[in-house]
Amino acid sequence: MRDITAGVQTAIEQTEVAPILLFEGLFSSGYVRIWSGYGDLSYGGNVWTGVGSLGSVSAVQETAEVQANGITVSLTGIPSEFISLVLNESEQGKSGKVFIGFMDVNNALIADPYMMFEGKLDIPAIAEEGETSVVSITYESRLINLQRPRESRYTNEEQQHEYPNDLGCEYVAAMKEVTLTWGRA
């Protein structure tokens, strides 16, 4: 069983459950916290803004293989004049999280929501629909780093970056001009 609280476990086992989704994304001006209901929601010392049916999150995939799966968070009905704000605020590599939580019959949040996905912002996509737009932001799992090439050079600068006081590569740059004679001349 995953790390879920007793309150969430009890909520899941009830015959009537009101699930909600929460999204937290870091942008250049700070965090954006939205949830799938209406009005404001307090959780974790923060206020989450309800977007109701204007927001959506793609399915979170889990596989038995070690592979990077991403998600897409979308907001619809955004006025076109705010598009430049979205483009200027999103920075590739910023963190994003998606939680699933549950509400009781009094619309109070039950225990702590479970984090379903955590990743890094990849790219935003904007679809214009007349006076409003759909903004979709894709987040990648940290496992995507397994597919990126790792380049390393035998230079003093790289050695100092990895091991600040190691002088083992101090003369590597000078070695490219040296002619060495092996054996007898």
> pLDDT band for position 1 (50/70/90)?
very low
From the list 18, 2, 26, the residue with the least C-alpha distance to 120 is: 26
pTM: 0.68
Q: Is residue 2 scored above 80 in pLDDT? A: no
Q: Which comes out higher in pLDDT, residue 113 or 146?
A: 113
Hey, which of 13-27, 29-43, 64-78 has the most confident mean pLDDT? 29-43
Rounded mean pLDDT of 165-180?
A: 84
Q: What average pLDDT does this structure show over 159-176?
A: 86
CATH of domain 6-147: 2.30.300
Average pLDDT over residues 5-19: 78
Average pLDDT, the chain: 80
Residue keyed to tokens 């927001």: 55
Question: Would you state the pLDDT for residue 92?
Answer: 83
Does residue 25 carry a pLDDT above 80?
A: yes
Q: What is the 3-state secondary structure (H, E, C) of the chain?
A: CCCCCHHHHHHHHCCCCEEEEEEEEEECCEEEEEECCCCEEEECCEEEEECHHHEEECCCCCCCCCCCCCEEEEEEEEEHHHHHHHHHHCCCCCEEEEEEEEECCCCCECCCCEEEEEEEEEEEEEEEECCEEEEEEEEEEHHHHHHCCCCCCCCHHHHHHHCCCCCCCCCHHHHCCCCCCCCCC
**Which residue ranges does the chain devote to CATH 2.30.300?**
6-147
Instruction: Report the percent of the chain where pLDDT is more than 90.
Output: 5
- How many Å apart are CA 91 and CA 73, to the nearest integer? 15
User: How many whole angstroms separate alpha carbon 77 and alpha carbon 74?
Assistant: 10
Contact 30, 133 (CB under 8 A): no
